[in-house]
């Protein structure tokens, strides 16, 4: 009923239902809004928000807790039986110094918020306003995700984080007191500076919308010019002389106008610088994108060349395998030829018949040779005084004899094609002489 865009726990219900442990921890500070407001709790629920949360129809403005701190310093802690170091971020709460402690996350989810360590529970206000952010992935949360199991490792990490927070407290306060000769605590200065800056910005925006100069209150100009800063010596006097109101209304309006012009000029310069940085970043992004595209193109070309080389490699390997097979076949044929040559006395181009067939063939060949000699003698006697020309037609008897010799040679030489032999020429005679010489050599070798 109090906030139509939120789901909240009533104060009386919250006071009665919260745990006694939390009551003891929060006696020294006010109750954070995240304890009773679902919208405030959802805004810090995740260490690094990655999703959109909508409550009562309105989007939740999530925030990075580590980016909302001031005077940020980081430290590390190495738990036992854990391989990685844990980063701890310390800083001052810029919203209010009333809320401080350790924000403990597990796997990006908030488990315990504003958990005060030992040094923050002392009566000397040590660590007031300081927030520590740590992601404890090695610890085991309880079933309701609101606490960690009370183990030795949990107690050990809380003790070490307390020591580190106290060291941060001493270091920051020492630097603050050394650099600024001021007695005001740093937690008050940080909070005032953040509040003054936000209020001054809101007032200036309102004035810009209205277009009025006289409507700006002096407090806004003062807080905008020096929000919560402790000046000393000449700096303080100059600030007072620039901002102090004067009795003359015209002079006062001129001073206000100068201050507004100075603020506007500063903001415009900041905007211009932001635009320049933005344009530079865009140019660099485009250059990087162009380089990325060129690199991808070069990678594609290289991949195409690799594919071609792989295809050539496959073709060459196939050819090599084929040639190797042919070589092996040739070697086997050579071995067979050598083995067959060893088993025969003389290797011929035609098949060798048995001994009886060879004798019969030799007898027939001798008879044919005697017949051919007689025939050639008759021919020589008949054709004495005439030239023997291969193209001259022979007698029917000689042609018939040559045909008979051809058929006989075909039985000895199967590769002989009688249709391509010219029986009118002496080709068949030459073939017959070669066969007879071969047979004679075979007979001589056999004897």
Task: Give the residue ranges of DSSP H helices in 383-418.
Answer: 396-412
Sign of CA dihedral 412, 418, 421, 425: positive
Given a cut of 50, whether residue 66 has pLDDT beyond it is: yes
Residue 213: pLDDT over 60 = no
Judge if pTM exceeds 0.85. no
How high is the pLDDT of residue 98?
A: 87
Q: Is the distance from CB of 368 to CB of 428 less than 8 angstroms?
A: no
Span 63-74, average pLDDT: 91
Give the residue, 215 or 317, on which the prediction is more confident.
Answer: 317
At 42 the pLDDT is 95
Say what the pLDDT of residue 348 is.
47
pLDDT at position 391, please? 44
Q: Residue 132 phi/psi, 5° resolution?
A: -115, 135
**pLDDT attached to residue 235:** 41
Residue 332 has, within 13 A of its CA and on its CB side, a CA count of 6
What does the pLDDT read at residue 406? 76
Residue 401 has a pLDDT of 79
Distance, CA of 107 to CA of 135 (rounded, Å):
7
Give per-residue pLDDT as tens, 313-368: 888 888 888 888 888 888 888 888 888 777 665 444 444 444 555 555 555 555 55
Buried b (16+ CB within 10 A) or exposed e, 29-42: bebbbbbbbbbbbb
Chain-centre distance of CA 156, in angstroms?
39
pLDDT surpasses 80 at 18: no
Is the pLDDT score of 310 beyond 50? yes
pLDDT score for 140: 93
User: For tokens 């004067």, what's the residue?
Assistant: 246
CB within 8 Å of 48: residues ≥ 6 apart? 64, 108
CA distance 344 to 96: 116
Mean pLDDT, residues 86-92: 93
Q: What tens digit of pLDDT does each residue of 240-292 get?
A: 333 334 444 556 566 666 666 766 666 677 778 888 888 888 898 989 999 99
CA distance 99 to 130: 8
Q: Which helix (H) or strand (E) holds 75?
A: strand 69-77
The residues pairing with 134 across neighbouring beta strands, listed in sequence order, are 88, 104
Alpha-carbon distances of 432 from 30, 60, 350, rounded to whole Å = 133, 116, 14
Is the predicted pLDDT of residue 224 greater than 50, yes or no? no
Q: What is the pLDDT of residue 24?
A: 47
Closest CA to 199 of 215, 229, 219: 219
Q: For residue 131, what are the β-bridge partners?
A: 91, 101
Q: How far apart are CA 224 and CA 414, in angstroms?
A: 122
Specify the pLDDT at position 164. Answer: 93
Spatial contact of 117 and 90, defined as CB atoms under 8 Å apart: no
The predicted-structure confidence for 138-176, as pLDDT tens digits, reads as follows 999 999 999 999 999 999 999 999 999 999 998 888 887
Model pLDDT, residue 377: 47
Report the relative pairing of strands 130-135 and 101-106 from DSSP bridges: parallel
Share of the chain above pLDDT 90, in %: 25
């Amino acid at each position: 009923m109090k906030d139509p865009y939120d789901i909240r726990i009533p104060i009386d219900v919250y006071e009665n239902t919260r745990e006694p442990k939390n009551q003891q921890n929060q006696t020294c500070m006010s109750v954070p809004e995240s304890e009773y407001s679902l919208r405030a709790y959802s805004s810090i629920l995740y260490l690094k928000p990655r999703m959109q949360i909508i409550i009562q129809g309105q989007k939740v403005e999530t925030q990075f807790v580590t980016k909302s701190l001031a005077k940020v310093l980081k430290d590390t802690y190495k738990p036992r039986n854990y391989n990685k170091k844990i980063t701890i971020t310390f800083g001052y709460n810029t919203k209010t110094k009333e809320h401080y402690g350790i924000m403990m996350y597990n796997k990006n989810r908030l488990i315990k918020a504003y958990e005060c360590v030992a040094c923050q529970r002392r009566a000397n206000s040590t660590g007031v306003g300081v927030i520590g952010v740590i992601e404890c992935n090695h610890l085991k949360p309880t079933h309701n995700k609101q606490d960690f199991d009370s183990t030795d490792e949990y107690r050990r990490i809380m003790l070490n984080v307390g020591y580190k927070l106290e060291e941060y407290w001493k270091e920051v306060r020492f630097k603050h007191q050394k650099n600024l000769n001021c007695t005001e605590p740093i937690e008050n200065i940080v909070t005032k500076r953040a509040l003054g800056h936000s209020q001054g910005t809101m007032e200036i925006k309102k004035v810009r919308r209205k277009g009025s100069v006289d409507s700006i209150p002096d407090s806004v100009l003062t807080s905008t010019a020096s929000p919560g800063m402790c000046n000393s010596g000449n700096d303080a006097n100059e600030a007072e002389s620039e901002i102090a109101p004067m009795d003359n209304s015209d002079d006062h309006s001129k001073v206000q106008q100068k201050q507004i012009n100075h603020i506007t000029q500063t903001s415009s310069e900041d905007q211009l610088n932001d635009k320049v940085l933005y344009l530079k970043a865009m140019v660099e992004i485009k250059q990087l994108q162009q380089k990325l595209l060129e690199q991808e193109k070069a990678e594609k070309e290289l991949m195409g060349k690799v594919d071609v080389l792989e295809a050539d490699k496959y073709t060459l390997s196939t050819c090599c395998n084929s040639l190797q097979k042919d070589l092996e076949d040739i070697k086997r044929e050579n071995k067979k030829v050598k083995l067959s040559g060893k088993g025969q006395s003389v290797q011929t181009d035609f098949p060798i018949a048995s001994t009886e067939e060879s004798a019969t063939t030799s007898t027939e060949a001798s008879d044919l040779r005697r017949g051919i000699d007689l025939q050639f003698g008759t021919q020589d006697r008949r054709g004495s005084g005439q030239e023997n020309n291969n193209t001259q037609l022979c007698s029917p008897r000689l042609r018939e004899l040559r045909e008979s010799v051809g058929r006989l040679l075909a039985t000895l030489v199967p590769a002989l094609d009688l249709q391509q032999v010219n029986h009118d020429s002496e080709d068949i005679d030459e073939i017959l002489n070669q066969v007879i010489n071969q047979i004679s050599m075979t007979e001589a070798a056999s004897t």
